Structure 1
Amino acid sequence: MADKFVLMRIINMRGVDLTTFDFDYDLTWAAFFMNANEHIYGRYGGRDEGPADKGLSIEGLTYAMEAALAAHARDPNAQPKRLAKEVHSVDRFAAARRLKKDQCIHCHQVYDFDRDRLALANKWSKDEVWVYPPPKNIGLVLDRKQGDRIDAILPGSSAAAAGMRENDVLLRLGEINVASYADAQYALHRAPKSGRLVAVWTRGDRTLTRTLALENGWRESDISWRGSMWGLEPQAQVYGRDLTAEQKRELGLPPRRLAFSQGDFVPRESRKAGIHARDIIIGIDGKELEMTMLQFNVYVRLNYKVGERITFNVNRNGKRLEIPMTLQSRLRR
Structure 2
Amino acid sequence: MTRILLLMLAMFWLSPLHSAEPSEREKKVRADRERVEAQGFWIYNDLEKAYETARKTGKPILVSMRCIPCEECVKLDDDLIDNDPTVRSLLDQFVCVRVVGTNGLDLSTFQYDTDQSFAMFMLNADKTIYGRFGTRSHRTEWFGDVSLEGMAAALQGALALHQRYPGNREQLAAKRGKPLEFASPEQYPSLKDKYTNEINYDGDVVKSCIHCHQIGDARREYYWHRSEPIPESLLFPFPHPKSVGLVLNPQKRAVVQSVIDDSPAARSGLQAGDEILTMDSQPLISMADVQWVLHHQAESGATVPMTLRREGKIISSSLTLPNGWRRLDDPRWRVSSWGVCRMVTGGMRLKALTEDERRDLNIEGDQMALIATSVGRYGPHAAAKKAGFKKDDVVIGYDGQTNLMREAELFAYATAKFKPGDKVPVKLIRNGETKTLTMPIQR
User: Among 191, 203, 207, which residue is 1:96 paired with?
Assistant: 191
Partner of 1:31: 120
Q: TM-score, normalised by structure 2?
A: 0.59
Partner of 1:68: 158
What does 1:1-80 correspond to in 2, within 5 Å?
1=87, 2-49=91-138, 51-54=140-143, 55-75=145-165
User: Among 208, 217, 240, which residue is 1:134 paired with?
Assistant: 240
Q: Deviation of residue 39 (structure 1)?
A: 1.7
Q: Deviation of residue 209 (structure 1)?
A: 1.0
Q: 1:72 to 1:136 in 2, by over 3 A?
A: same
Partner of 1:282: 393
CA contact (8 A) 1:309 1:327 kept: no
Cα distance in 2 for partners of 1:61, 1:22 equals 19
Local SS of the residue matching 1:124: coil
Q: 1:10 to 1:314 in 2, by over 3 A?
A: farther
What does 1:285-300 correspond to in 2, within 5 Å?
none
Identity of aligned residues (%): 27
Q: Deviations over 1:25-56 (max 9, x none)?
A: 11121111112222211111122357541311
Cα distance in 1 for partners of 2:413, 2:119 equals 31
User: Among 383, 394, 401, which residue is 1:269 paired with?
Assistant: 383
Partner of 1:212: 319
Q: Deviations over 1:265-311 (max 9, x none)?
A: 57553454457xxx643323689x9xxxxx76x67644555411446
User: Among 338, 345, 369, which residue is 1:236 paired with?
Assistant: 345
Q: Deviation of residue 323 (structure 1)?
A: 8.5
CA contact (8 A) 1:258 1:282 kept: yes
Cα distance in 2 for partners of 1:171, 1:53 equals 24
User: Among 202, 209, 217, which residue is 1:112 paired with?
Assistant: 217
Q: 1:169 to 1:299 in 2, by over 3 A?
A: closer
Q: 1:176 to 1:123 in 2, by over 3 A?
A: farther
The one-letter amino acid paired with 1:165 is Q
The one-letter amino acid paired with 2:291 is Q
Q: 1:99 to 1:321 in 2, by over 3 A?
A: farther
Whether 1:191 aligns to 2:297 is: yes
Partner of 2:287: 181
CA contact (8 A) 1:39 1:78 kept: no
Local SS of the residue matching 2:98: coil
The one-letter amino acid paired with 1:109 is Q
Structure 1 stretches of 4+ with a deviation exceeding 6 A read 319-323
Local SS of the residue matching 1:308: strand
Q: 1:106 to 1:165 in 2, by over 3 A?
A: same
Q: Deviations over 1:115-150 (max 9, x none)?
A: 222234443245341321221333321111113211
Q: Deviations over 1:173-207 (max 9, x none)?
A: 11321121111111111223323110001124321
Instruction: Report which stretch shifted further, 46-55 or 211-220.
Output: 46-55
Q: Deviation of residue 217 (structure 1)?
A: 1.2
Where structure 1 has 5 or more consecutive residues not aligned to the other structure, the ranges are 243-248, 290-294
The one-letter amino acid paired with 2:271 is R
Q: 1:281 to 1:161 in 2, by over 3 A?
A: closer
Instruction: Report which stretch shifted further, 82-91 or 158-167.
Output: 82-91
Q: RMSD of the alignment, in Å? A: 3.8
Cα distance in 1 for partners of 2:361, 2:110 equals 46
Q: Deviation of residue 22 (structure 1)?
A: 0.9
Cα distance in 1 for partners of 2:266, 2:385 equals 50
CA contact (8 A) 1:35 1:77 kept: no
Q: 1:19 to 1:264 in 2, by over 3 A?
A: closer
Q: TM-score, normalised by structure 1?
A: 0.77
Instruction: Report which stretch shifted further, 259-268 or 48-57.
Output: 259-268
Aligned length: 311
Q: Deviation of residue 216 (structure 1)?
A: 0.6
Cα distance in 1 for partners of 2:375, 2:119 equals 33
Cα distance in 2 for partners of 1:263, 1:192 equals 33
Where structure 2 has 5 or more consecutive residues not aligned to the other structure, the ranges are 1-86, 201-207, 352-356, 363-368
Partner of 1:307: 423
Whether 1:170 aligns to 2:276 is: yes
Q: 1:58 to 1:268 in 2, by over 3 A?
A: closer
